[in-house]
Amino acid sequence: MKRILGRKQSMKPADEKLWWEVINHIEDYVSREEVARATEIARARILKVTDGKKAAYSWSGGKDSLVISELCRSVGITACQCLVKHIEFPAWVEWLIKNAPPNCHFLKVGFDLDYLAEHEELLFARGKIGQRWLRDIQQNHFRKYLKQENLDVVILGHRTIDGNVCGKDGIRIQRQGGILYAPIYDWSHELVFAFLHYNKIEIPFMYKWYRGFYNGTCGWAQRTAGSVNQAWQEVYEIDPSVVIQSAEKLPSARKFLEEMKNANCD
């Protein structure tokens, strides 16, 4: 197995081309036999951690959750949850609905324009402020899922190389009870892409958006760029209607549209 792709947090826009080159020639990097071995190890891990326990998985539609979905299906775990934010691109929500696994429960987690108007510091936020998205959208709702469904284990597609905190051997025991478990915590990007390739699972279209691998399945307001204006530009290029609608509530969106209009008039 050859590994050349690093942490996505250190990616630059030009690096996306390399990722697609690897994907398009994935058999040069990972063999079918290597995927088969990794798959059996991951399945054995899931079976061991969930033995005698009530388990489900979280599905986002991203590349890693597609792997998790197939692994869980293969060991008989079918219950899952998909967290949907008001700040999703409409085309992505449509894709999620059409491609969700059977028995997938969609949970709307809020974060609409009114919320952003009151917490504009979160808009395209970086660093510690940006980490609040991870806490408020993901971690808190993973724990709620454990409690509300009386689950012992929630299986996640988190991986160390993606910058996720996965715990020892992928296990994070929660104070309130239950386990958040990442069975592919040690998989490389190449192995994930090879799994999808050999299992004939298509990579979702949104990875072809500008900086698609860097931003992943995050909502449009979670994207990061060199400036707020640049972030709005990226969002506008993906879906102008998102910016136009946002301008009704968010001053920075209004400013972006006004500046774009003035530039076109010059």
Say how many C-beta atoms besides its own lie within 10 A of residue 52's C-beta. Answer: 5
Domain boundary among 215, 239, 255: 215
Q: Do 169 and 247 have their domain in common?
A: no
Does the predicted TM-score (pTM) go above 0.75? yes
Residue 257 lies in a domain: yes
The secondary structure element, H or E, covering residue 57 is: strand 55-58
Q: Do 232 and 189 have their domain in common?
A: no
pLDDT at residue 266 in the model: 58
The secondary structure element, H or E, covering residue 82 is: strand 80-84
The tally of domains found in the chain comes to 2
Nearest alpha carbon to residue 71 among 191, 188, 195, 216: 195
How many angstroms separate the Cα of 33 from the Cα of each of 63, 64, 172, 217? 20, 20, 30, 29
Q: Do 33 and 147 have their domain in common?
A: yes
Q: Do 46 and 177 have their domain in common?
A: yes
Q: Do 84 and 208 have their domain in common?
A: yes
Q: Do 66 and 117 have their domain in common?
A: yes
Query: Which range of residues forms the domain containing residue 255?
Result: 225-266
More confident position, 218 or 192: 192
Nearest alpha carbon to residue 162 among 203, 200, 134: 134
- Encode pLDDT of 209-225 as tens digits: 999 999 999 999 999 88
Give the chain's mean pLDDT.
Answer: 93
Three-class secondary structure of residue 115 per DSSP: helix
CA 67 to chain centre: 12
Q: Give the pLDDT mean for 153-169.
A: 93
Q: Do 233 and 207 have their domain in common?
A: no
Looking up residue 195, the CATH number of its domain turns out to be: 3.40.50.620
Instruction: Please say whether the dihedral angle defined by the alpha carbons of residues 219, 107, 70 and 155, taken in this order, is positive or negative.
Output: positive
Q: Do 100 and 44 have their domain in common?
A: yes
Q: Give the pLDDT mean for 174-196.
A: 96
